Structure 1
Amino acid sequence: MLYKQSLKSKFFAAGIALAACLVQQSSALAADTIEPDTLLIGSDMTYPPYIYLEDEQPAGFEVEFMNALSRHMGLEPEYVDTRFAQLIVGLRSNRYDVIASLLYITPERAEVIDYVPHTQTGSSILTASTFEDDPSEPEELCGLRVSSIQGASWIPKLEKVSEEHCEPNDLGAIDIREFATAPEATQAILSGSVEAQFADAAVAQLAVENTEGALKITSQELIYPIPVGLGVNSNKPELKEEIATAIEQMKESGEYDEILSKYNLSAPDQDAVEAALSES
């Protein structure tokens, strides 16, 4: 009888210890996210096909990717619509846990946030179909008014081309006009406010399709190919590791390749990631 009571006591104590351990683990996970059991995701929902609102619901590549990733993390995804230029400010102010909004990996951004690379893309040049010239590379944008989404990583590159190539050769500066959203930048071409738009390749292709031939892509190859990452605060290494682990699980399940293939995207090349982070 004493043995049975002692055995029960041992099982009871073990149960308490296990419960405490599980609570401790759960608390550790909760500490990684701003809200318990929730992954708050900052996104600019004006950027189809990557992320946008369809029937007032988030849709697009980043949404499909983050919904799958959240499932593997055991968290509920919740999207916080934020204009692109304010995404990093919002992350650093703890408005959300992660940025998922076609965030190009650049050394400037890597100075203030951490990245988890998850795909790779590039840029294209758009003009009106009636525009007489077909600029195929940044050097051919000299003297033109060019629209772009505000805060895009290619803006410093275009400014460098303008300062080092266009102006010294008396070709006229590239007049970059920044807009809050990509559709607004596209509308600037249609209204005649600019002659060209510099945009992500998939965004450019969608703009051509949606305007039924009013626009054309004039660049022949991807310009400034660049890996894309999810942005995480530098003081959240555990969360960064959890996201990376979830991506590996998505690869094992086949979800990763399925989602990237659907949007004609590719996995980030590690050499490209390192090159993007080391650019001057």
Structure 2
Amino acid sequence: MSRRVSLTRSLLTLSLLAAAHAQADEATLQPQRLSIGSDLTYPPYTYREQGKPAGFDPAFMTLLGGHLKLQPQFVDTRFANLVMGVNARRFDLVASALYVTPERAAQVDFLPYLKSGASLMVRSDDSFRPQQPQDLCGKRVASIKGGSWIPKLAALSKDYCQANGQAPIDSREFPTSPEAAQALLAKAVDVQFEDAAVARITTDKLKGRVTISSSTLIYPVVIGLAVRKGNEALLGELRQGFSAMKQSGEYQALLTQYNLGEPSAAEIAQALGQNPQAAQ
């Protein structure tokens, strides 16, 4: 009788272990690997340094992968193709300064982990010094293709600029932020609408040829890791790993290094289009 009970327990244990391995295999495309879609042209978040991925997101994902016992593998993908790529199973998740919006939340599942905003950049030798989006009426505005603020600028152009008898905003999208900056330097556009952290590093790299004209964050946003809709197995693992990063102090050290912040529960709820008061 005891031998039969022992055998039953052994079979149950093996069954549970097999289920756990099956869940892990289902969570990622390859066992023990975490493939990450990232636009490696977007410093300081994601870029290449000496041929290797560098910046906040690669550093964050390396630490997170360590907690998950998964080896990070970056797949360089242009920003506009990231959401489509994760849903097409070209990679496991997106880590590329992807802003959380209700529209995107309908397509992917998010793990919010950062807060940022946008800035306006102009040529240093130009007298044009916009402070807010309303100053862009009639101007040529460069942005990275797929930027979350582009629909907001389109709405502002119609509801504010044209409604008040001013010329519309001429939005021009570029595959990468450096290409948008080159268009600004070449006077092909009047201003570049850019993530605040990216704008800061761009002004440093261009050594004073461009400057940030806005003094406050524009359209404050929450940034999130994105996984394929319904991939609860991977999302759950990411949440556990993120919690471990917070407890170890690694997360706060990384935020301090890059001068970034953690979004509040209310800010996350608002970004997802939910009721912020319900998250407090």
**TM-score of the pair, normalised by structure 1:** 0.93
- Match in the other structure for 2:31: 36
Which of structure 1's runs of 4+ aligned residues deviate more than 4 A?
Answer: 6-17
1:128-277 to 2 correspondences below 5 Å: 128-277=123-272
CA distance in 1, matches of 2:37, 2:72: 11
For structure 1, list consecutive stretches of 5 or more residues without a partner in the other structure: 1-5
After superposition, give the CA deviation of every residue in 1:199-220 in whole Å (9 maximum; x if it has no partner).
Answer: 0000000110001100010001
Bigger CA radius of gyration: 1
CA distance in 2, matches of 1:238, 1:152: 29
After superposition, give the CA deviation of every residue in 1:173-218 in whole Å (9 maximum; x if it has no partner).
Answer: 1111100000001111111100100000000001100011000100
Amino acid at match of 1:255: E
* Residues 26 and 233 in structure 2, CA contact (< 8 A), matched pair in contact too: no
After superposition, give the CA deviation of every residue in 1:228-261 in whole Å (9 maximum; x if it has no partner).
Answer: 1000112211211111111011000001101111
CA distance in 2, matches of 1:131, 1:246: 47
- Match in the other structure for 1:3: none
CA distance in 2, matches of 1:7, 1:19: 18
For structure 2, list consecutive stretches of 5 or more residues without a partner in the other structure: 275-280
Amino acid at match of 1:136: Q
Amino acid at match of 2:259: N
How far did residue 171 of structure 1 move? 2.2
1:80 maps onto 2:68 in alignment: no
- Match in the other structure for 1:122: 117
* Residues 37 and 95 in structure 2, CA contact (< 8 A), matched pair in contact too: yes
CA distance in 1, matches of 2:221, 2:3: 61
Q: Is 268-277 or 70-79 further displaced after alignment?
A: 268-277
Q: Is 15-24 or 148-157 further displaced after alignment?
A: 15-24
How far did residue 138 of structure 1 move? 0.2
Secondary structure, counterpart of 1:167 in structure 2: helix
Amino acid at match of 2:172: R
- Match in the other structure for 2:277: none
* Residues 122 and 212 in structure 2, CA contact (< 8 A), matched pair in contact too: yes
After superposition, give the CA deviation of every residue in 1:57-76 in whole Å (9 maximum; x if it has no partner).
Answer: 00000000011111111111
* Residues 227 and 269 in structure 1, CA contact (< 8 A), matched pair in contact too: no
Secondary structure, counterpart of 1:241 in structure 2: helix
Q: Is 232-241 or 42-51 further displaced after alignment?
A: 232-241
Q: Is 163-172 or 239-248 further displaced after alignment?
A: 163-172
Secondary structure, counterpart of 2:229 in structure 1: coil
After superposition, give the CA deviation of every residue in 1:63-100 in whole Å (9 maximum; x if it has no partner).
Answer: 00011111111111111111000001101100011100
- Match in the other structure for 2:59: 64
Q: How many residues align?
A: 274
- Match in the other structure for 2:278: none
- Match in the other structure for 1:106: 101
CA distance in 1, matches of 2:209, 2:164: 32
* Residues 148 and 177 in structure 1, CA contact (< 8 A), matched pair in contact too: yes
Q: Is 234-243 or 205-214 further displaced after alignment?
A: 234-243
CA distance in 1, matches of 2:102, 2:261: 21
Secondary structure, counterpart of 1:122 in structure 2: strand
